Chain A
Amino acid sequence: MNYRTHALLCAGAACLSSGADNVQAKLEEAIKETGLSDEVKIVRTGCVGSCDLAPILIIEPDSVFYQKVKPADAEMIVREHLLKGRIYEKNLIRDPDTRNLITTHADFAFFRKQMKIVLANCGLIDPENIREYIARDGYQALGKVLSEMEPEEVIEELETSRLRGRGGAGFPTGRKWRFVHQAKGAAKYVVCNGDEGDPGAFMDRSVLEGDPHRVIEAMAIAGYTVGAQKGFLYIRAEYPLAIRRVELAIRQARELGLLGRNILETGFNFDLEVRVGAGAFVCGEETALMASILGRRGMPMPRPPFPAISGLWDCPTLINNVETYANIVPIIMNGGAWFSRIGTERSAGTKVFALAGKINNTGLVEVPMGTTLREIIFEIGGGIPGGKRFKAAQTGGPSGGCIPEQYLDISMEYDTLSAIGSMMGSGGLIVMDEDSCMVDVAKFFLEFCLDESCGKCPPCRVGTQHIFRILEKISCGEADHGDLAQLEELAAMIRKMSLCGLGQTAPNPVLSTLRYFRDEYMAHIEEKRCPAKVCRAMVTYRIRKDTCIGCGLCAKVCPVNVISKVEGQKLYVIDETPCIRCGACMDVCPVGAVIKESVGTPVEENESCLSRV
Chain B
Amino acid sequence: MSESSVIHLTVNGQAVEGRRGQTILEICRAAGIYIPTLCYHPRLSVVAACRMCMVELEGNSKLQASCSTPAADGMVIRTDTEHLHEYRRLNLEFLFSERNHICPFCESSGACDLQRLGYEHKMESVRVEYLAPRLPTDLSSVCFGLDHNRCILCTRCIRVCDEIEGVHTLDLTGRGGKAMIGVDLHTDFGESTCTLCGACVQVCPTGALYDKLPAYRGRPQDLESVATTCPGCSVGCGLIAQTRYGQVIRVLGDENCPINRGHTCRIGRYDSVVIGRKRVEHPQVDSAQGWDSALAFCKQHLLADRQKKIVLALNSRTTLEACVEARNLLDTLGDNAIATLLDTDLPPQPVPAPGFDAIQKADVIWLVNCAPTRYVPVLASMLRRRVRKRQARLIVCTRRAIELSRYAELLLDLGPDEVAALFTNRDFLPSGLDEHSIRLLRECLQGNHQHLVITSDRPDRRGRTKVFADEHRKALRNAGVDLFHITVGTNTLGIAALLGDRLVDRKDLFCRELGAVVAVVGDLVDERVPAALKSLTEKAGFVLVLTSYEMEEPSQAVLPMMTWWEDGPAHVVNLIGNIRPVVPVGPPRGDARPLADILHALAVALGSKATRRNIDSIREELAQTWSKREEVAR
| Interface flags, A295-330, vs B, CB<8A=1, else 0 | 001010110100000000000000000000000000
Interface centre among B127, B129, B155, B177 (most CB of A within 10 A): B177
Which of chain B's residues has its CB closest to A482's CB? B127
State whether A457 touches B51 (Cβ < 8 A): yes
B51 touching A462, Cβ below 8 Å = no
Residues in B with CB closer than 8 Å to A164 are none
Which residues in chain B, 34-55, are within 8 Å of chain A measured between CB atoms? 46-51, 54
A residues less than 8 Å from B172 (CB atoms): 297, 299, 455
Q: Per a CB cutoff under 8 Å, which of B47, B127, B153, B175 touches A452?
A: B175
Q: A456-B47, A497-B91, A499-B65 are in contact. Are A486 and B153 (CB under 8 A)?
A: no
Chain B residues with CB under 8 Å of A496's CB are 54, 62-63, 87
User: Which partner residue on chain B sits nearest A499 by CB separation?
Assistant: B48
B615 within 8 A of A: no
Instruction: Say yes or no: is A349 at the interface (Cβ < 8 Å to chain B).
Output: no
Residue of B nearest to A453 (CB): B176
User: Which of chain B's residues have a CB closer than 8 A to the CB of A457?
Assistant: 48-51
| A455 and B63 contact, CB distance less than 8 A | no
Whole-angstrom distance between the alpha carbons of A120 and B94 in the complex? 49
Residues of B within 8 A of A223 (CB): none
Contact code string A105-141 (vs B, CB < 8 Å = 1, else 0): 0000000000000000000000000000000000000
A458 within 8 A of partner (CB) = yes
Specify which chain B residues have a CB less than 8 angstroms from the CB of A461 in the assembled complex: 98, 153, 176-177, 179
Distance to closest chain A CB from B88 (angstroms): 8
Known interface pairs A302-B69, A466-B97, A496-B63; A280-B87 also in contact (CB < 8 Å): no
A452 to B177 CA separation, bound complex (whole angstroms): 9
Which of B48, B152, B177 is the one whose CB lies under 8 Å from A302?
A: B48
Give every chain A residue within 8 A of B152 (Cβ-Cβ): 458
What B residues does A465 contact at CB under 8 A?
Answer: 98, 131, 177
A313 to chain B, nearest CB (A): 10
The answer to whether A489 and B70 touch across the interface, beta carbons within 8 angstroms, is no
- The CA-CA distance from A454 to B62 in the complex, in Å, is 21
Contacts of A466 on B, CB cut-off 8 Å?
Answer: 94, 97, 128-129
Partner of B171 from A297, A453, A462 at Cβ < 8 Å = A297
Q: Are A304 and B179 in contact (CB under 8 A)?
A: no
Check A459 against B94 for contact (C-beta < 8 Å). yes
Are the C-beta atoms of B177 and A458 separated by less than 8 Å?
no
Q: What 1/0 flags go to A438-468 for Cβ under 8 Å of B?
A: 0000000000001111111111111111100
Q: What is the number of residues of chain A that contact chain B, defined by CB distance less than 8 Å? A: 32
- CA–CA, A457 to B175, complex, Å? 11
Q: How far is the CA of A489 from the CA of B89 in the complex (A)?
A: 12
- Residue-by-residue, is B299-312 near A (CB-CB < 8 Å gives 1, otherwise 0)? 00000000000000
Name the residue in B46, B54, B155, B179 with the highest tally of chain A Cβ atoms < 10 Å from its Cβ. B179
Residues of A within 8 A of B444 (CB): none
Q: Do A493 and B90 touch across chains, with their CB atoms under 8 A apart?
A: yes
Partner of B87, one of A301, A451, A464, A497: A497
**Is B447 part of the contact surface with A, judged by Cβ < 8 Å?**
no
Residues of chain A contacted by B48 (CB below 8 angstroms): 301-302, 457, 499
B95 at the interface (CB under 8 A from A): yes
Complex Cα–Cα for A464 and B153 (A): 16
| Cβ < 8 Å to A, chain B residues 603-628 | none
**Contact between B94 and A456, CB atoms less than 8 A apart:** no
Complex CA gap A458/B117 in Å reads: 15
Q: Are B177 and A499 in contact (CB under 8 A)?
A: no
A458 touches B176 (CB 8 A): no
**What residues of chain A lie closer than 8 Å to B129, measured between beta carbons?**
466, 469
Report the bound CA distance from A86 to B425 in whole Å: 87
Measured CA separation A466–B62 after assembly (Å): 23
- Asked if B174 CB lies within 8 Å of chain A CBs, one says yes
Which residues of A are found within 8 Å of B49, using beta-carbon distances? Answer: 456-457, 499
Chain B residues with CB under 8 Å of A464's CB are 176
Query: Which of B70, B97, B98 is close to A304, meaning CB atoms less than 8 Å apart?
Result: B70
Q: Are B175 and A458 in contact, CB atoms less than 8 angstroms apart?
A: no
Type the 1/0 row for A504-531, where 1 means its CB is closer than 8 Å to any CB of B.
0000000000000000000000000000
CB pair A458 B95 closer than 8 Å:
yes
Nearest neighbor of A489 in chain B, beta-carbon distance: B90
Q: Which chain A residue has the least Cβ–Cβ distance from B64?
A: A302
Q: Is the CB of B94 within 8 A of A499?
A: no
Residues of B within 8 A of A451 (CB): 175-176
- B179 and A498 within 8 A (CB): no
B69 touches A304 (CB 8 A): yes
Contact B175 A455 (CB under 8 A): yes
* Cα of A465 to Cα of B130 in the assembled complex, Å: 11
> Is B68 part of the contact surface with A, judged by Cβ < 8 Å?
yes
Minimum CB–CB distance for A579 against chain B, Å: 28
Cα separation A283 to B86 with both chains bound (whole Å): 30
A462-B97 Cα distance, complex, nearest whole Å: 8
Which residues of A, 254-292, contact B by the 8 Å Cβ criterion?
280
Q: CB within 8 A of B63: which of A304, A462, A463, A497?
A: A497
Bitwise interface map of B from 49 to 92 toward A, beta carbon under 8 Å scored 1, else 0: 11100100000001101001110000000000000001100110
Report the bound CA distance from A446 to B46 in whole Å. 29
Q: Which of B97-156 contact A (CB under 8 A)?
A: 97-98, 127-129, 131, 152-153, 155
Q: Hey, which chain A residues are within 8 Å of B54, CB to CB? A: 496-497
Q: Indicate whether B462 reaches chain A with its CB closer than 8 angstroms.
A: no
Q: A457-B49, A458-B94 are in contact. Are A493 and B176 (CB under 8 A)?
A: no
Distance in angstroms between the alpha carbons of A191 and B62 in the assembled complex: 27
Q: Within 8 Å of chain A (Cβ to Cβ): is B464?
A: no
Report the separation of the CA atoms of residues A299 and B176 in the bound assembly, to the nearest whole angstrom.
11
Interchain CA distance A499-B91 in the complex, whole Å: 13
A454 and B47 alpha carbons, distance in the complex (Å): 13
- Specify which chain A residues have a CB less than 8 angstroms from the CB of B97 in the assembled complex: 462, 466
Give the interface centre of A450, A460, A464, A496 by most chain B CB atoms within 10 Å: A496
Question: Which residues of A sit under 8 angstroms from B46, Cβ to Cβ?
Answer: 302
The minimal Cβ–Cβ distance linking A396 to chain B, given in whole angstroms, is 18
Please state if B91 and A280 are interface contacts (CB–CB under 8 Å).
no
Mask of B154-174 contacts with A, CB within 8 angstroms, 1/0: 010000000000000001101
Interface centre among B68, B91, B128, B175 (most CB of A within 10 A): B175
- In the complex, whether A490 has a CB less than 8 A from a CB of chain B is yes
> Which residue, of A297, A462, A489, has the highest number of chain B Cβ atoms within 10 A?
A462
Residues of B within 8 A of A280 (CB): 175
Contact in complex: B94, A455 (CB < 8 Å): no
Residue from A452, A454, A486 within 8 A of B128 (CB atoms): A486
Instruction: Give chain A residues whose Cβ lies under 8 Å from the Cβ of B86.
Output: 493
Kindly state the separation between the CA atoms of A498 and B49 in the bound complex, as whole angstroms: 9
Given A458-B152, A459-B94, A489-B90 in contact, is the A497-B177 Cβ separation under 8 Å?
Answer: no
Which residues on the A side are within 8 Å of B426 (C-beta)?
A: none
Contact yes or no, A486 B70, CB < 8 A: no
A455 to B569, CA, bound (A): 49
The answer for the CA separation of A452 and B179 in the assembled complex, in Å, is 11
Query: Is A490 in contact with B128, judged by CB distance below 8 angstroms?
Result: yes
A 413-454 binary contact with B (CB < 8 Å = 1; else 0): 000000000000000000000000000000000000011111
> Once the chains are docked, how many angstroms separate the CA of A466 from the CA of B94?
8
Known: A452-B175, A462-B95. A497 touches B51 (CB 8 A): yes
Instruction: Give Cα distance in the complex from A469 to B155, angstroms.
Output: 26
Indicate which residue in B98, B174, B175 contacts A462 across the interface (CB closer than 8 Å). B98
Task: Report chain A residues within 8 Å CB of B63.
Answer: 496-497
10 A-B contact pairs sorted by A residue (CB < 8 Å):
A297-B172, A302-B48, A304-B68, A455-B179, A458-B153, A461-B177, A464-B176, A466-B129, A489-B90, A499-B48
With contacts A455-B179, A465-B131, A497-B63 known, what are 15 further pairs, Cβ within 8 A?
A302-B47, A304-B68, A454-B175, A456-B155, A456-B179, A461-B177, A466-B94, A466-B128, A490-B90, A493-B87, A493-B90, A493-B91, A496-B62, A498-B51, A499-B48
B contact residues vs A (CB 8 Å cutoff): 46-51, 54, 62-63, 65, 68-70, 86-87, 90-91, 94-95, 97-98, 127-129, 131, 152-153, 155, 171-172, 174-179
Q: Which residues of A contact B (CB under 8 A)?
A: 280, 297, 299, 301-302, 304, 450-466, 469, 486, 489-490, 493, 496-499
